[in-house]
Structure 1
């Protein structure tokens, strides 16, 4: 996966952060968005899901994203 694709995946996850009630839901939501972004950019679905899950959990747990 190129750096450009990684940045696209992280940006997609930050923009579409799906905070859930639990850490697992946060990881699942971010993973789904990351895998979707990877599919659109021709990247690895597994890498996209892992990056998306990590980015979303980080965004939600750090308070960078306001969750309703």
Structure 2
């Protein structure tokens, strides 16, 4: 299994926000993804590994209103 770093996660998030699917990392390494779908899948894997989005817990919250 691959160990991801917070820096790699932030870089991927920035790429997604910019709509960029390839990037030169500056150390002679170039990263290229096939699609946004692939990037989002890898982002989810990174979040799970880094403990940023625990399984079974949704990011969305919905208010509940009851008449009293």
Higher helix share: 1
Give TM-score scaled by structure 2 length: 0.35
Q: Larger relative contact order (C-alpha < 8 A, sep ≥ 6)? A: 1
Larger Rg: 2
Higher strand share: 2
